[in-house]
Structure 1
């Protein structure tokens, strides 16, 4: 059983449930304010615990560089892999789900929808749907060697940028233009790729003077997008 926190709306006017995935080194409680705001829009909200966080073997020093480099992508891939188990536990059809993720959670949510084509919506905040592009940027910025051929094969298996665009999920991509943690280039690459494939169910909002955070303007835009699409 995957631990989770559930927010029930006082007036459940929406048929969809929003699943929120938090960022690296964070916790489910960090999503309390956003989950509360969205539940007030009539959605049920579920915030699952992510491996190596909260009660799931949390790492003692998650922001130490060697720890991040060892566990960041493993955490993303593991969470994508266990999604089948999670939706079986919550017993909600894919078409009734909207996935929202920030930072690492954005990577996770984007990875999941590339395998689950009936999911109704995706909101990716300061994450990336272009795994290889983002990892290459991480490695350049940290002075590491490029991915080996074997590592590239693993990334290609999960990378949404490498998957067929045969789903109809409504997508909202959001990114701070000054993001110094997760480069906006990953989102830009993903957006460019899928729009060139003729994908029309997507919006990409960028935010000047915003670093790696969720601004009040972003929250307002999330609410507006949900109201217009669901």
Structure 2
């Protein structure tokens, strides 16, 4: 693990200097350790991979119960927003430019990656797995599922400041993947973001009979997409 300026991350050095650095964000209640195997597979394909530790997870503090409704409602968006803001620190620590990066995220990590991608148009690409690129749409789903009241204007404004669909799409390659039976993060946010971008550079793959999981088929889909976009040779 690397610790610079108080922001810890895990670094896997690849051999393909022409390929983008893959920054991967895990989901709510997840862990960077859960992505070591994927990082190792991608490293074998030549990619350099970075797994940032996220606030309220791993070395940055463990919550008593991630699935307590009040805890999740209070800290989910705070975690997303802070991680998006910390991207500047990560860039400085890595000593790279935005154009050197491709962001990937699963579940909450998909929210994070999508917002970073939207706010930084130089980034080479985005992969969002079972997340959302439409924050207001996603929050409306969460509140409906929890039986909560509608957002206030202040709450909506806070989301809109980070909401990817409020930013002009950069035209860089995007891969969206979602299970068609996802009961945790509804696919409506992915569809809304897909419609917002409305580009041949967007690939949206739905996986049948899949709940909120990053399946082996999705991993293979990710690797295939990366190979088509950037190559996978260590040469």
Q: Which residue does the alignment assign to 1:149?
A: 153
Segments of 4+ moved more than 4 angstroms = none
Distance in 1 of aligned mates of 2:178 and 2:19: 27
Q: 2:63 aligns with which of 59, 68, 75?
A: 59
Q: 1:130 aligns with which of 129, 134, 148?
A: 134
Q: Which residue does the alignment assign to 1:89?
A: 93
Give a deviation string over 1:113-154, Cα, whole Å, max 9, x none.
111000001100000000000000000011000100111111
Task: Give the match's secondary structure for 1:79.
Answer: helix
Q: Which residue does the alignment assign to 1:78?
A: 82
Q: 1:176 aligns with which of 176, 179, 185?
A: 179
Higher relative contact order (CA 8 A, sep 6+): 2
Give a deviation string over 1:92-118, Cα, whole Å, max 9, x none.
111111111000000000000111000
- Kindly tell me the number of residue pairs found equivalent between the two proteins: 225
What 5-or-longer segments of structure 2 have no aligned partner? 231-235
Q: Which residue does the alignment assign to 1:42?
A: 46
Q: Which residue does the alignment assign to 2:8?
A: 3
Distance in 1 of aligned mates of 2:85 and 2:172: 19
Q: Which residue does the alignment assign to 1:219?
A: 219
Distance in 1 of aligned mates of 2:166 and 2:17: 36
Distance in 1 of aligned mates of 2:89 and 2:9: 13
Q: Which residue does the alignment assign to 1:116?
A: 120
Alignment RMSD, CA only?
Answer: 1.1
Distance in 2 of aligned mates of 1:86 and 1:14: 20
Deviates more, 1:214-223 or 1:132-141: 214-223
Shift of residue 8 of structure 1? 2.0
1:209 to 2:212 alignment: no
Please give the TM-score of this superposition, normalised by the length of structure 2.
0.93
Distance in 1 of aligned mates of 2:200 and 2:163: 20
1:102 to 2:106 alignment: yes
Q: Which residue does the alignment assign to 2:229?
A: 229
